[in-house]
């Protein structure tokens, strides 16, 4: 009795999905109501989509997550069953391929889609903060020339070298010139969606300056000077960190291995064993395995620590 309404709902959703002419529409037809039902579990995803500036609605993206996860489960189940039948696997192994593999693959697809907006938002944040001092300096020069604030962002949008800041400036300009919003509303909307707290504070400061009738030229000049000063301090700290890493690398990964190899070479000439191993075997292991592995780990460490 309880399964009949469920089957009827599934048939209705599939029928509606088949009538659509795009993947997004099909996703909404199949899983739109499910996304609405469980929307409270994806509040952080909704914020990440805004900050990532992805051209997709929250409901559509969640529906696509469910659709791709379902397709991944179905595809991997068919592949697992086919592999089990072709190779005549034992029951336990067949269960692993026909159930374990689909579950793992589905979780992987769902997890990747769930994390993608946050990772994209982090990349946009890093891009904004890297270009912020230079973009502010440019905005300060534009403001000094007497151009109206609404035209400042239109000019800034033309400079693609500022990356995500140019995109945000283009969004402000589009809201004002295309959608007819006033500048204060456009600044507030973009500031709320920006992944960078520093850039949001700049926009809110401009908003407050405009609303109170303050001097926008002076405000932009002050913020540009502060950003350039912070950049200088940060670069000095980064140089100190790199210098420390270089000293560490020279002492631990160059001098120490050379010293160890020389000691082992002398011991090899004298003969004998160390901890039950032949000296030449230890030399081969150190030169061909240990030293390359340590250097690789150090490179990974630098990639994570140094922008």
Please tell me the distance from the alpha carbon of residue 80 to that of residue 102, in angstroms, as a whole number.
8
Please give the tally of structural domains in the chain: 3
For residue 295, what is the enclosing H or E element?
Answer: helix 291-305
Q: Please indicate, yes or no, whether residues 47 and 65 belong to a single structural domain of this protein.
A: yes
Q: Please indicate, yes or no, whether residues 241 and 181 belong to a single structural domain of this protein.
A: no
Please tell me the distance from the alpha carbon of residue 292 to that of residue 289, in angstroms, as a whole number.
6
The mean pLDDT value for 249-267 works out to: 80
Residue pair 256/298 in contact by the 8 Å Cβ criterion: no
Tell me: pLDDT of 153 over 60. yes
Tell me: pLDDT of 266 over 70. yes
Task: Report residue 238 CA to chain centroid gap.
Answer: 22
Positive or negative: CA dihedral 115, 120, 123, 129: negative
Range of the domain at 294: 234-305
Q: Residues, the chain, total?
A: 307
Q: Please indicate, yes or no, whether residues 140 and 161 belong to a single structural domain of this protein.
A: yes
| Domain stop point among 231, 255, 273 | 231
| Domain stop point among 231, 257, 284 | 231
Q: Please indicate, yes or no, whether residues 7 and 99 belong to a single structural domain of this protein.
A: yes
Residue pair 63/45 in contact by the 8 Å Cβ criterion: no
Q: Grade residue 1 by pLDDT with cuts at 50, 70 and 90.
A: very low
Q: Please indicate, yes or no, whether residues 297 and 192 belong to a single structural domain of this protein.
A: no
Q: Please indicate, yes or no, whether residues 188 and 87 belong to a single structural domain of this protein.
A: no
127 or 261, which is more confident: 127
4 or 77, which is more confident: 77
Q: Please indicate, yes or no, whether residues 115 and 193 belong to a single structural domain of this protein.
A: no
Please name which of 123, 108, 135 lies closest in space to residue 224, comparing C-alpha atoms: 135
How crowded is the C-beta side of 303, counted as CA atoms within 13 Å? 6
Task: Report the mean per-residue pLDDT for the chain.
Answer: 84
pLDDT in tens, 22-62: 778 888 888 888 888 888 888 888 888 888 888 888 888 99
- Count other C-beta atoms under 10 Å from residue 166's C-beta: 18
Tell me: pLDDT of 307 over 80. no
Q: Which residue has the tokens 């010139």?
A: 177
- Count other C-beta atoms under 10 Å from residue 66's C-beta: 18
pLDDT in tens, 213-235: 888 889 989 999 998 898 889 88
| pLDDT computed for residue 278 by the predictor | 73
Q: Please indicate, yes or no, whether residues 118 and 129 belong to a single structural domain of this protein.
A: no
Q: Please indicate, yes or no, whether residues 139 and 224 belong to a single structural domain of this protein.
A: yes
- The torsion angle over the Cα atoms of residues 121, 127, 128 and 134, rounded to 10 degrees, is 180
Share of the chain above pLDDT 90, in %: 26
Q: Please indicate, yes or no, whether residues 147 and 221 belong to a single structural domain of this protein.
A: yes
The mean pLDDT value for 194-210 works out to: 92
Q: Please indicate, yes or no, whether residues 221 and 238 belong to a single structural domain of this protein.
A: no
pLDDT in tens, 143-152: 888 888 888 8
Residue 273 dihedral angles phi and psi, to the nearest 5°: -130, 160
| Domain stop point among 231, 248, 280 | 231
Q: Grade residue 239 by pLDDT with cuts at 50, 70 and 90.
A: confident
Q: Please indicate, yes or no, whether residues 96 and 146 belong to a single structural domain of this protein.
A: no
pTM of the predicted structure, to 2 decimals: 0.71
**277 three-state secondary structure:** strand
């Amino acid at each position: 009795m309880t399964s009949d309404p469920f089957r009827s709902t599934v048939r209705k959703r599939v029928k509606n999905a088949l009538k659509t002419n795009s993947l997004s529409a099909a996703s909404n037809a199949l899983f739109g109501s499910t996304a609405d039902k469980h929307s409270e579990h994806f509040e952080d995803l909704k914020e990440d989509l805004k900050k990532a500036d992805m051209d997709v609605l929250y409901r559509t993206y969640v529906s696509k997550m469910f659709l791709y996860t379902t397709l991944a489960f179905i595809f991997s189940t068919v592949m697992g069953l086919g592999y089990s039948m072709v190779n005549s696997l034992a029951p336990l192994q067949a269960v692993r391929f026909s159930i374990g593999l689909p579950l793992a693959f589905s979780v992987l697809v769902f997890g990747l889609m769930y994390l993608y907006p946050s990772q994209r938002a982090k990349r946009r944040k890093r891009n904004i903060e890297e270009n912020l001092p230079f973009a502010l300096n440019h905005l300060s020069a534009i403001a000094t020339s007497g151009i109206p604030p609404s035209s400042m962002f239109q000019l800034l949008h033309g400079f693609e070298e500022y990356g995500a800041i140019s995109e945000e400036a283009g969004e402000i300009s589009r809201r004002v010139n295309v959608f007819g919003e006033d500048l204060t509303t456009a600044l507030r909307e973009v500031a709320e969606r920006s992944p960078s707290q520093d850039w949001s504070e700049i926009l809110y400061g401009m908003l407050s300056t405009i609303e109170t009738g303050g001097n926008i030229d002076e405000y932009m000049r002050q913020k540009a000077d502060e950003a350039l000063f912070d950049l200088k301090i940060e670069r000095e700290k980064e140089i100190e960190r790199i210098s420390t890493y270089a000293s560490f690398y020279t002492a631990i990964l160059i001098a120490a291995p050379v010293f160890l190899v020389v000691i082992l070479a002398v011991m090899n000439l004298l003969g004998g064993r160390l901890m039950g191993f032949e000296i030449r075997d230890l030399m081969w292991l150190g030169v061909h395995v240990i030293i390359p592995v340590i250097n690789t780990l150090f490179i990974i460490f630098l990639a994570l620590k140094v922008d």
